[in-house]
């Protein structure tokens, strides 16, 4: 009986995992300026958290109910994908923090002024 519940949870995990990719793409971006489209990112991570909860439940109950080696690996897939996503996000953040920006040829304008270059106000 528990095995059927685990398979049902596995199906719910697959639906939530697929929804985490499909729903943000179909969502219209909202917000202004830098925050435009942040609703898509929060939708992705929200659905990933829901899928993660299903995946954790599948792993917890599935590890005792797995009758074969294939089933035991099948019940580990949700947590493995969640772990890979976590490592990808951490790696992306570290890469962004530690990478050097490309060299640039920009030179700031010369801001030095002399007394001769300053305008003299006229008396009225």
**Entry pTM:** 0.71
Look at residue 61 in the predicted model and tell me its pLDDT.
87
Give the confidence band of 16 by pLDDT, cuts at 50, 70, 90: very high
Report the C-alpha gap between 19 and 29 in whole angstroms: 17
> Is 91 within a domain?
yes
> Is 120 within a domain?
no
> Is 11 within a domain?
yes
> Is 22 within a domain?
yes
Short-list 40, 48, 38, CA closest to 24: 40
Look at residue 70 in the predicted model and tell me its pLDDT.
87
> Is 124 within a domain?
no
CA 52 remoteness from chain centre? 14
Residue ranges making up the domain that contains 49? 2-30+37-96
Look at residue 114 in the predicted model and tell me its pLDDT.
66
Give the confidence band of 124 by pLDDT, cuts at 50, 70, 90: low
pLDDT, tens digit, 9 for 90 and up, residues 37-72? 899 999 999 999 999 999 999 998 888 877 788 888
Render the chain in DSSP notation, one character per residue. -HHHHHHHHHHHHHHHHHHHHHHHHHSPP-SSGGGTTHHHHHHHHHHHHHHHHHHHHHHHHHHHH--SHHHHHHTTHHHHHHHHHHHHHHHHHHHHHHSPPPP----PPP----TTTSPPPPP-
Region 73-79 average pLDDT = 90
Percent of the chain with pLDDT over 90: 48
Q: Count of domains in the chain?
A: 1
> Is 72 within a domain?
yes
> Is 23 within a domain?
yes
């Amino acid at each position: 009986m528990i095995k059927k519940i685990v398979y049902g949870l596995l199906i719910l995990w697959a639906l939530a995992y697929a929804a985490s990719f499909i729903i943000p793409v179909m969502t219209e971006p909202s917000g202004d300026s830098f925050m435009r489209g942040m609703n898509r990112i929060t939708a992705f991570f929200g659905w990933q958290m829901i899928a993660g909860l299903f995946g954790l439940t599948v792993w917890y109950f599935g590890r005792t109910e797995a009758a074969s080696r294939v089933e035991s690996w099948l019940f580990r897939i949700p947590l493995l994908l969640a772990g890979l996503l976590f490592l990808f996000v951490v790696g992306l953040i570290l890469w962004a923090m530690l990478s050097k920006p490309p060299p640039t040829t920009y030179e700031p304008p010369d801001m030095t002024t002399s007394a001769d270059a300053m305008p003299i106000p006229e008396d009225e």
